[in-house]
Structure 1
Amino acid sequence: MKTFLLKSSLWLPTPRAELFPFFADPGNLQRITPPWLHFKVLKSSTPEIRRGTVIDYRLWLRGLPIRWRSEISVWEPPFRFVDEQRRGPYRRWIHQHLFTEKDGGTQVEDLVEYAVLGGALVNRLLVRRDLDKIFAYRCRVLQEIFAPGPEGLGAHLD
């Protein structure tokens, strides 16, 4: 199975101890997900995210309804957490969220290892473009929330 890696990095002028709790609330997933996905958290097994939390979502992608279940496999506040798809559109999805103190703020990094049906061709033509748009949107929204001025600029996608 061919796997791919998506990297997204964003510096925010917010201390890690203040930023991390935002990501511990499953309701904020909806807030940082593009509206064109019609993303909705259906159920979370715990009110706050922690190791073992299972979250069920619904979204629409390219006109198709998708159900997604992820589990938090690593929970190390305020440094990192990892969610893994248990059911959903990918053959593999492991998403690391990393929070590093830097220059009086926090470097927020997303590392996503994923695999898709159809391999490299489907990834190149469809999936990677969608993921790049989704993570670019996420960076913009996080900047609007935590760094509304020019000091919040600093997003990067690989």
Structure 2
Amino acid sequence: MIHFLHRSQILPISTEESWTFFSDPKNLAAITPDLMNFKITGGAERSIYPGQIVSYTVRPFAGMKMNWVTEITHVKEKKYFVDEQRFGPYSFWHHKHFFNPVRNGIEIEDIIHYKLPYGTFGNLFHSIIAKQLKEIFDYRKEKLNEIFGKL
């Protein structure tokens, strides 16, 4: 089963400022909860581009270390980009990031489609995973408000 998560947030910054921040893979660590122990292990030397491979380690459950590799598959500068998991904790991960200009700022929009591993057995844990994803994006919202302010 494919699951879906949609989040959006308005920040009081320009399109240029938002793109500069979000197109730098190194900034992902700043908006990821510390307890995830998120570390980039490769591929973040430059701003995003189609075909870029970025690798990470995360510890999503009780310190269990996991490797995660994503590919930036689509980029339209200052409009959107897409990252897709190539290896990692999900059977499928497709994350679209949109940057929509609004009055006095920018709307940051995340649309994620994901599938858990292990079929029906894996779906038994969906409520736990969905809660964790919500907490990660709640944390991200708070951190972005700290960094850029609120509208």
AA at the equivalent of 2:78: P
CA distance in 1, matches of 2:60, 2:11: 29
For residues 28-43 of structure 1, what are the structure 2 equivalents within 5 Å? Answer: 28-43=27-42
1:104 has 2:104 as partner: yes
Partner of 2:76: 76
Tell me how far 1:120 sits from its aligned partner: 3.6
Deviations 1:99-144 (A, max 9, x none): 00011200000000000023542112x1001100001001110111
Partner of 2:14: 15
Secondary structure of 1:107's counterpart equals strand
AA at the equivalent of 1:65: K
Partner of 1:156: none
CA distance in 2, matches of 1:21, 1:114: 26
Q: Aligned pairs, how many?
A: 147
Partner of 2:124: 121
CA distance in 1, matches of 2:99, 2:122: 30
Structure 1 contact 7–112 (Cα < 8 Å) conserved: yes
CA distance in 1, matches of 2:7, 2:100: 14
TM-score of the pair, normalised by structure 2: 0.93
Deviations 1:10-34 (A, max 9, x none): 0001011111110111110111100
Gaps of 5+ in 1: 154-158
Aligned residues: CA RMSD = 1.2
TM-score of the pair, normalised by structure 1: 0.89
Secondary structure of 1:145's counterpart equals helix
Secondary structure of 2:124's counterpart equals helix
CA distance in 2, matches of 1:119, 1:37: 20
Tell me how far 1:55 sits from its aligned partner: 0.2
Partner of 1:4: 3
Structure 1 contact 46–53 (Cα < 8 Å) conserved: no
